[in-house]
Structure 1
Amino acid sequence: MIDKNALLEEITRLVVTELKEQNVTVSTKQQKSYVPVSISARHIHLQRDHLDALFGKGYQLTKHKDISQPGQWACNEKVTIQGPKGKIENVRVLSPLREATQVEVASSDARKLGLEPPVRSSGNLTGSAPITIIGPKGTIQLQEGCIIADRHIHMTPQDAMEFGVRDKQKVSVKVPGGKGGLMGEVTIRVRHNYALDMHIDTDDANAFGLSGNEQLQIIPD
């Protein structure tokens, strides 16, 4: 009489062995695929000397509230940004300070300002759009520094392993609902001190009917 349990175990062993020989990863854990989403309105990161120029020498930023990434927060301080065709007031400053000042806007903001900023990852400012920043104590004019932030997902190395993705990989994200669809060109960003979160701007949120805190599904490209 055939021992069905023993036969099943032997078949399973042979399949796993074959997959390993073909360098196929076998895991008993289900791969993760859903991430929370946050909506980033227009904002600015400042370098030290620009903070001094806008708010006064030695000025210290004050906290409004924490944001999703550890050690980062929205400040009470706000500035006005100006382009060739218009200006936008009450643009919030984020902390901590950066090595280079960076202004992040949505496409609709750029049209109001009369600018054509490129879609970039944070910190990639070479050749980005010029912009004027007006504070309570002074004004600065940047030759470059204004971008439209790319869609991206922050995660730790452990998260990346569990989601089966890697740093700088491009993925798509599935959005459910009446205005749902696929968001493409979403960049994976991996760092040990990140918290799992997807960031989109207000234009994307409005286009896909999102309000923030939804769980969206990663679809690797």
Structure 2
Amino acid sequence: MNIGQVKQAVNKVISEMRERPIPVGISNHHVHLCEGDYQTLFPNQPISVRKMLKQPGQYAAEQTVTLVGPKGALKKVRILGPLRSQTQVEISQTDARALGISAPLRLSGHLSQTPGLKLVSEHGELELPHGVIVALRHIHMSPLDALIYGVSQGDYIKVAIEGSARRTVFDQVAVRVAPNMALEMHLDTDEANAADLTNPDAYARLLPTGPCRFASKR
């Protein structure tokens, strides 16, 4: 086999791998806590694992809190572990309206000029000054996945949800790349409802964007 044939074979394999269905995870409202805030809410109580998540090392904890806003409250909101360097609350726009706050659409960790609210547990409470967001829809990828799909950290792409009763196309889907990430698209509950994601076999597929396959960074 000559070099041209090898390249042709490799390109064929990469093209086939790009057509892999991408698992879709539905992200319900949840809280990431820093160590200090966790100790305020759960003093002398180690965080405990309820269920491991698809992303390596991440899990849903047994511990839950109540979110309290100006207009209402959301009970039994799950804590996700492990603990982080800063506290972040992720909700949907429907949740934001129920709580009576205006939560901006942000990537995880981008918390400047975000609203706060009160977090209450059975053991304590705290006023969070900021850190509440509606998470921007995104796809987690390893560096190998990103190489196969031809994307980079910070790219925004177009994705079709297939296998559901209502085929839906989402634009401006953020690409997040890290060595410890597993291939998975994350949508919040509002987006999942819009796409009628009741079928566990539904999946995401990347789509062309304009004259080139992927949108530019922003």
- Which TM-score applies when normalising by structure 1? 0.85
| Displacement of 1:143 | 1.4
Q: Is the 8 A contact 2:119 2:127 kept in 1?
A: yes
Question: Which structure has the larger Rg?
Answer: 1
Partner in structure 1 of residue 11 of structure 2? 27
Q: Is the 8 A contact 1:43 1:94 kept in 2?
A: yes
1:49 is the counterpart of 2:36: yes
Partner in structure 1 of residue 104 of structure 2? 118
Partner in structure 1 of residue 183 of structure 2? 196
| Displacement of 1:165 | 1.0
List structure 1 runs of 4+ shifted beyond 3 angstroms: none
Q: Is the 8 A contact 1:37 1:213 kept in 2?
A: no
Gaps of 5+ in 1: 1-8, 17-25
Distance in 1 of aligned mates of 2:53 and 2:87: 19
User: Residue deviations 1:121-149, cap 9 Å, x none?
Assistant: 11111111111100111111111110001
- Which TM-score applies when normalising by structure 2? 0.86
Distance in 2 of aligned mates of 1:120 and 1:101: 14
Q: Is the 8 A contact 2:165 2:197 kept in 1?
A: no
2:61 partner letter: C
Of 195, 202, 206, the residue aligned with 1:214 is: 202
Number of equivalent positions: 198
Q: Is the 8 A contact 2:161 2:202 kept in 1?
A: no
| Displacement of 1:68 | 1.0
| Displacement of 1:28 | 3.5
Partner in structure 2 of residue 85 of structure 1? 71
User: Residue deviations 1:186-210, cap 9 Å, x none?
Assistant: 1000000111111111111101011
| Displacement of 1:163 | 1.0
1:99 is the counterpart of 2:99: no
Distance in 1 of aligned mates of 2:137 and 2:106: 9
Q: Is the 8 A contact 1:46 1:98 kept in 2?
A: yes
Q: Is the 8 A contact 1:69 1:194 kept in 2?
A: yes
Q: Is the 8 A contact 1:156 1:192 kept in 2?
A: yes
| Displacement of 1:213 | 5.0
Distance in 1 of aligned mates of 2:201 and 2:97: 28
2:45 partner letter: Y
Q: Is the 8 A contact 1:38 1:213 kept in 2?
A: no
| Displacement of 1:175 | 1.9
Distance in 1 of aligned mates of 2:165 and 2:37: 44
User: Residue deviations 1:64-104, cap 9 Å, x none?
Assistant: 00011000100111000011100000000010001100000
Distance in 1 of aligned mates of 2:175 and 2:29: 21
Distance in 1 of aligned mates of 2:80 and 2:190: 20
Secondary structure (helix, strand or coil) at the match of 1:203 reads: helix
Partner in structure 2 of residue 73 of structure 1? 59
Distance in 2 of aligned mates of 1:84 and 1:112: 9
Counting aligned pairs with the same residue, the percent is 37
Secondary structure (helix, strand or coil) at the match of 1:76 reads: strand
